[in-house]
Amino acid sequence: MLEEAAGVEGRELSPGERQAQLEKYRFRFVNIYQELEMSSRFVDTHRDVSQGGDGVQLHSHTFYEMIYCTGGSTQYLLGTQRYRLRHGDIVLIPPGVSHRPLLDEKMADPYRRCVVWFSQEYVESVRPMWPELLKNQRFGVLRTANTRWEGMAKLFEAGCGEAARGAPGWQAVVCATTLELLVNIARALEDVDRPTPPAEVPDLFDRLNLFIEEHLAQDVTLERAAREFFVSKSTIDQLFRKKLGISFYRYLTQSRLIAAKERILEGEALGRICTDVGFADYSTFYRAFRREYGVAPSDFRDFNRL
């Protein structure tokens, strides 16, 4: 559940105009949060809490995301890698990369985090001062607990606090705090003494995830996956339902739609995209896209041109 949310104002559209556009395109609220929308031009920051089984699906963003884990222990799927998060871990997620937490249905210790979203426009505004920003950047999980980098927690908390209070000048403070975070993260990634959290040892789920990613454009079926990994169809489907709360085919569709979104944003033709990511025809792609995001592919394209 979203506890606090705030963004740095400054888009060309006013909040009222932005809301009118959202209503026009009929975006679902949950998918705005997970998929599409920053409320600001440069930086959004907020705190989040997940109690378990609260419907966070596989998704991607058009912006960068940093997540600072403040409590709870959960696994996190980032692309085809799976990590075990703990307090003090920072997840670094670039635009277009699929991700989601793997939450248990019931969690004794809720998964708590501070979240920072920042746009490509923000990155470009900083580049004159720091040309190397996010160039050749490594993305994944940065472990800070019990290291000299654990002080970054204060920066995440300060940004969330400024956004929540909304005092005069808070937008500028949040932008500055985000820049300080990015500088510290870049330096921490170069620290040879920093402990690096390894991805979890690949299991059947991870191998299936990689198989899906590598064969999106092909005819991927439960039957084919079962033959490939020498297990039954029911074993695979039960595994996805246990890990993600959804079927194998729903996950396959989500993965294809995320790949399609990136190509839509790159300006490719919708008719070509749908077959290149594995849909039989445009009507099948259209129905799946609208069912998942509550908006037609062409409206998604037009909205992101605003």
How much is the average pLDDT of 144-149?
92
In the prediction, which pLDDT does 306 show? 59
> Which homologous superfamily is 204-303 in?
Homeodomain-like (1.10.10.60)
Q: For residues 220 and 232, what is the distance between their CA atoms, to the nearest angstrom? A: 15
Q: What is the pTM of this model?
A: 0.83
Query: Which tokens hold the place of 208?
Result: 């299936």
For the chain, domain boundaries? 2-189, 204-303
Among the listed residues 200, 199, 204, the one whose alpha carbon sits nearest the alpha carbon of residue 248: 204
Neighbour-count burial of 111, counting CB atoms closer than 10 A to its CB (0-12 exposed, 13-18 middle, 19+ buried):
buried
Least confident range of 39-43, 118-122, 179-183: 39-43
The pairing of beta strand 43-50 with beta strand 111-118: antiparallel
Among the listed residues 231, 296, 221, 230, the one whose alpha carbon sits nearest the alpha carbon of residue 264: 296
Whether the Cβ atoms of residue 292 and residue 250 lie closer than 8 Å to each other: no
* Domain 2-189: which CATH number of 2.60.120.280, 2.40.37.20, 3.20.20.10, 3.40.50.10320: 2.60.120.280
Query: Which tokens hold the place of 42?
Result: 């440069």
Query: Which tokens hold the place of 39?
Result: 């409320």
pLDDT digits (tens, 9 = 90+) for 111-130: 999 999 999 999 999 999 99
pLDDT digits (tens, 9 = 90+) for 61-112: 889 999 999 988 889 999 999 999 999 999 999 999 999 998 877 777 889 9
